Structure formats: C-alpha cells, structure tokens
A and B are shown apart, each in its own frame.
Chain A
Amino acid sequence: MHWVNAVVMLVMITSGWGIYDDDVIIRGFSFSSFWRLGDWAAWSLNWHFAGMWFLVINGLIYLTYGFVTGRFRQKLLPIRPADVVQTVVDTLHFKIAHEDITVYNAVQKLLYIIVILAGISQVITGLAIWKPVQFSGLVSLLGGFQTTRMLHFAGMAVIVGFLIVHVALALLVPKTVWAMLAGGPRVSADSQVQAHLVRRGHTA
C-alpha cells in the first residue's frame, strides 16, 4: 500500500504541476518541464485523472486497514503536546532515538496524521474542482471555486513538504528504508497484546 501510494502520489503531484503551469496561481512561479508529468496540459490532465482512481482506491484500503486493525490508534495515538516539544528539543540536541523503529515519536505521529488528513483533503478539494456543478454545495462550503483551487494547491504543498522531510529522515536512518522495502520488523507480542487490550477499552 505504501509503495502504490508513493508512486501514485508522485504521479498526482507532478501531473498536477503540469496542470498548474497552464494557468499559474502565483504570478511568475511555474514548474520547469523537467518536473512535470505529461509533455503538455492535456496529458498532465490525463495522468491526473487516471492517477486519481489509484489514489482513492489505495487510500480507502489503507484507511480501512488502519482503522479496522487498530493500527492507527496503536501507532499514531496518543499525541501529547509536551511530547512533541520534548521530541523537538531532543532532536535539536541530536538525542533522537531509533532503537525501536516500530514506535513513532510524537513529531512523527503528528506529521503522519497531518499528511493523512492532507491526502483526504486533496481528494475532497479535487472532487470539488473536478465537478463544481454536481458538487456545488461542497464548493460553496469550501469558499468558492477559486478558493477550493487554492486549497487543492496548498494541500499539494503540505504533502510535498512532508515528502521532503520524510524521505530525508528515512535516508538518515538507513534501517527504516530496509523496513519499508521488506515489510518492517515484527511488532513484539507484548505490544500486540497491549494494543488489543487498548482496543477493547482496558487501559493497560
């Protein structure tokens, strides 16, 4: 799921840049053709409208899997503001621990939640600007067609920002790359029991 998503995200981002360049939002700012998927707008659009199906289907499987197995709750919650601050302070002191890569630190949890929400938001704003008449209620809820278009662009920026940090940090901690390619280490039996109890409502 991660690698389908990685490929589809890159397809959506780079083809989106091709569409953006047809009528730029920020005057004077465009993407060079090297970074665009599709040699002109028509093909960027076709890539974008093909990629959307893979993004949505894969995304739905991922979200369902995350919620049903309790993976999201186990890995991404809870987030305490104090932990986020502590992680930032630790990182600035180069005291970042990666002995157990099955446990995310607070900043990781926060970033993963942000990027998941950004992905969902991209699908919603994308649907709105694709079908602004059929989903006119959604468009006015989001603040109009042009505002929704800006939101769709901003969502891309959030995801690209995440990607840069995500890839850079993964490369700094090489064993995570191997985990991503090979499927990751076994989560210990203890933590599975723990997660099970948490799911059932027993506080451990």
Chain B
Amino acid sequence: MRSPFRPDIVPDTAILDNHKPLIRSLERRGVIRGSLSLGALVLLTGCDVKRPEAVESALLAISRLNDGVQALLFNPNRLAPTYPASMILRPPKFNAYYDVMDVKPVDGATWRLEVSGRVADKRPWTLQDLRAMPQTSMVIKHICVEGWSYIGGWSGPTLRIFLERIGADLSAKYVAFKTADDYPSSIDMATALHPQTLLAIQYGGDTLADPFGYPVRLRMATKLGYKNPKWITAIEVTNTYPGGYWEEKGFPWFAGL
C-alpha cells in the first residue's frame, strides 16, 4: 500500500528555492527533533551519557515549555480536595535537603518578616502581626515530587490577604521567598492568589513546631511539596524570575498539581 503521508504532486523546485527562509525557519523544530534523536542515540548505543550539554539544554527547554502548559492548565478557581480533621497526620512528615537533626530553630520573638519589591508598604512583620490577621484553615494532601503523600492540617492568613495588605502589585509575575535555612523559592502570582495558598503558622490547631517551619511557612494545596518553603524570612514581589533551590538543580519550576 502506498504511504498515505506521501503527497501525490511534488512541489516545483523553483517554489522551494523561493521560500528558502521560510523552510529554514521551520528548522527551529529541530531542537525538539534533536532532543528525540539524542534520546534514541543514548538508548540504542546503550551507553551512559552523562548529561551532555545539548541534551541538558533540550530537556530544560521542554521543561520551561511545560511550565507554560502547567500555567495554562492551572484553574485559579479549582479547589484541591479537602479532608476531615481526623485524618491529619501528627506529627507531619519532615522533609528537607538535610536531616531533621540539622534543623536550626528560629526565635519567634526576634523573628521579622522582610517585605520587598513591588509593594507599597515595606515595613517588616512580626509573628503577632500575622496572628492578628484573618485566619484560614485547610486539611489538604501534601504530595511530594518523589511520590509519597500525607494529609496535613494548616492554618494562617492566606497569602492573598497578606499581599493585599502590603499593597503588592498583584499583576506582577512572581512572589519570591527567602528562608532561614537558605532555601530560596518562588511561585507564580496566580497560585499566590489561590484561596488554598497560606502563610501557615499552625499545624493541626497548634503552633507550628520547629522542624516544620516555625514561625511561618508557605503551604499551597496546588503545588508539589518542594515548592513550600519553611522558616520564611523575606517575601519579594517581582517581575524577574527568581528561581529556587531545587529548580537550580534541574527540577521543574511550576510544579503545579
């Protein structure tokens, strides 16, 4: 059977010559094609290619493309499933880039939350200030990029209320976080404004314990675990891509659920 993908009428060579720039521009698709054939090469030769730069940059380019697709898939009005308080895991599961024994507790009395970037009011915040704000509670599933998950109960002001209170430019692209454990992180504004995005100061009705981010951490129902920094010390509203700890090492940035 003749291939149905082969055209019956072959274009005149003069036409091809006249449209050379157009044809050449189509070759940008070569990036994707190249990444695929490199993949094939790695598999067919069965050799252990240690992330050559071409492969790495092709994968990162696709990862950035996926960030865009994920942002499109993100529905700001869709709520993550919630669970009864009886299902809350106590204590929550500890996870960081270091062992629980290496956690350095933060002194809540002297702790201050710095605010910077595209905001009107840059006064630092105390824990009392956060406690005085309207509190929201949610019992949600924490899903780690590794695959494990657990149900946790978090309370605190929503990040949306906080951003509104400091007069943040809500049309800015990113909200970036700095932490006491040197774990920079950042999220998109749409997720920052989601009703299930909290500056959590309580777990299961009790003050957040030291290993889980006392005095304040981020908790989002719509992102993977590693997007939720603990022991936050500074928040910045910005249009410049801020990156993050795991993102610098190759993990996807958007990481939406």
Kindly list chain A residues whose C-beta atoms are within 8 Å of the C-beta of B251: 42, 45
State whether B249 touches A133 (Cβ < 8 A).
no
Kindly list chain B residues whose C-beta atoms are within 8 Å of the C-beta of A14: 43
Min CB distance A35 to B, Å, is 10
Contact partner of B60 (CB less than 8 A), chosen from A4, A46, A136, A149, is A46
State whether A22 touches B62 (Cβ < 8 A).
no
What is the number of contacts between chain A and chain B, taking CB atoms within 8 Å? Answer: 92
Kindly list chain B residues whose C-beta atoms are within 8 Å of the C-beta of A4: 36
Q: Is B81 an interface residue (CB 8 A)?
A: yes
Q: Is A37 an interface residue (CB 8 A)?
A: yes
State whether A50 touches B59 (Cβ < 8 A).
yes
State whether A42 touches B246 (Cβ < 8 A).
yes
A82 vs B109: C-alpha distance when bound (angstroms)? 78
Contact partner of B250 (CB less than 8 A), chosen from A46, A140, A187, is A46
Kindly list chain B residues whose C-beta atoms are within 8 Å of the C-beta of A10: 43
State whether A51 touches B143 (Cβ < 8 A).
no
Min CB distance A64 to B, Å, is 11
A22 vs B146: C-alpha distance when bound (angstroms)? 5
Q: Is A80 an interface residue (CB 8 A)?
A: no
Contact partner of A23 (CB less than 8 A), chosen from B60, B148, B250, is B148
Residues 130-153 (chain A) with a chain B CB within 8 angstroms: 131-134, 136, 140, 145-146, 149
Task: Contacts A22-B146, A41-B145, A145-B143 given; indicate if A133 touches B257 (C-beta within 8 A).
Answer: yes
Task: Tally B residues with Cβ within 8 Å of A.
Answer: 42
Would you give the 0/1 interface string for A45-79, flagging 1 where the beta carbon is closer than 8 Å to chain B?
A: 11101110110000000000000010000000000
Min CB distance B239 to A, Å, is 26
Kindly list chain B residues whose C-beta atoms are within 8 Å of the C-beta of A20: 147
Residues 227-257 (chain B) with a chain A CB within 8 angstroms: 246, 249-252, 256-257
Min CB distance A129 to B, Å, is 8
Q: Is A11 an interface residue (CB 8 A)?
A: yes
Min CB distance A93 to B, Å, is 35
Contact partner of B78 (CB less than 8 A), chosen from A54, A133, A186, A187, is A133
Residues of A within 8 A of B (CB): 4, 7-8, 10-11, 14, 19-20, 22-23, 25, 34, 37, 39, 41-43, 45-47, 49-51, 53-54, 69, 131-134, 136, 140, 145-146, 149, 186-187, 192
Q: A49-B63, A187-B1 are in contact. List 9 more A-B contacts (CB 8 A).
A: A10-B43, A69-B4, A131-B73, A131-B256, A131-B257, A132-B257, A133-B256, A134-B257, A145-B143
- 24 chain-A/chain-B pairs, Cβ below 8 angstroms: A4-B36, A7-B43, A10-B43, A23-B147, A41-B146, A42-B251, A43-B59, A45-B252, A49-B66, A50-B63, A51-B39, A131-B70, A131-B73, A131-B256, A132-B141, A132-B143, A132-B257, A133-B78, A133-B81, A134-B73, A134-B74, A134-B256, A149-B147, A192-B1
